Amino acid sequence: MSYIYGLLKGIISALLGLMHNLTGNFGVAIILATIVIRIVLLPLTLKQDKSMKSMKKLQPELDKIKKQYKDDPQTMNQKTMELYKENKVNPAAGCLPLLLQLPILWALFGVLRDPNTVPEGARFLWMQLQVPDPYYILPILNGVVSFFQQKLAGSSNNPQMKNMMYIFPVMMVFISYKMPAGLQIYWLSSSIAMVVQQYLIMKKGD
């Protein structure tokens, strides 16, 4: 894990340094670096979207299995896995882009704490990048964008996910309000990029 962390930190540090040389501002550099990262992760995003669509198509069959074997959890799990295998669906594939965000966040946090990469007191707009947004504007924006992400994903049409459409944005605000502003900028930029990607994917269709 330490090797992967060090590798990611080195890549992000080099990318951030390159963008800073182009723009002269570390806040703008973080936004541009985020766009580059989202482009690199685009194949995984497309795979995630394909997996979600496949899962949606299988939902009626999954509901039948749950109803038929509700008193036999072992058989229900076996039949569910057989259905996934027959249709070549990996339910874990949809989580991969989200899981990759965590090591990137940790690495970026390490980069922001490294004065050799980002000097202490580096600022963007009203914020100092190494400390939380003093006016909580970025955490609130993160919550708002998260709400639109859930809505765009169709959570409002799914009774089981409808509550999450409101709970998850509140969780996002709670999780991110103590983050350094640089991390919040990355998270917000990444979320906006994901909304744009999702819109374009939905517009294009299969």
| pLDDT per position as a tens digit, 86-130 | 887 776 655 666 667 778 878 888 888 777 788 888 888 898 888
Q: What is the dihedral of CA 95, 100, 105, 106, to 10 degrees?
A: 120
- Closest by CA to 159, choosing from 46, 45, 47, 63, is 63
Query: Where does the chain show beta strands of DSSP type E?
Result: 123-124, 127-128
* Confidence band, pLDDT 50/70/90 cuts, at residue 22: very high
Domain containing residue 79: 2-204
Residue 148 has pLDDT above 50, yes or no: yes
Structure-token pair, residue 163: 């509550």
Q: Give pTM, 2 decimals.
A: 0.75
Share of the chain above pLDDT 70, in %: 87
Question: What local confidence, expressed as pLDDT, does residue 186 receive?
Answer: 87
Q: Say whether pLDDT at 192 is over 70.
A: yes
- Among residues 112, 93, 92, 95, the alpha carbon closest in space to that of 187 is found at 112
For residues 87 and 51, is the Cβ–Cβ distance under 8 A? Answer: no
Rounded to the nearest integer, the mean pLDDT of the chain is 80
Per DSSP, 130 falls in state: T
Mean pLDDT within 138-149: 86
Tally of domains in the chain: 1
Summarize pLDDT for 45-61 with one digit per residue, the tens.
Answer: 777 777 777 777 888 88
Structure tokens at 135: 């006016």
Q: How far is CA 181 from CA 11, 109, 172, in A?
A: 20, 10, 14
Report pLDDT for 31: 93
pLDDT of residue 160: 54
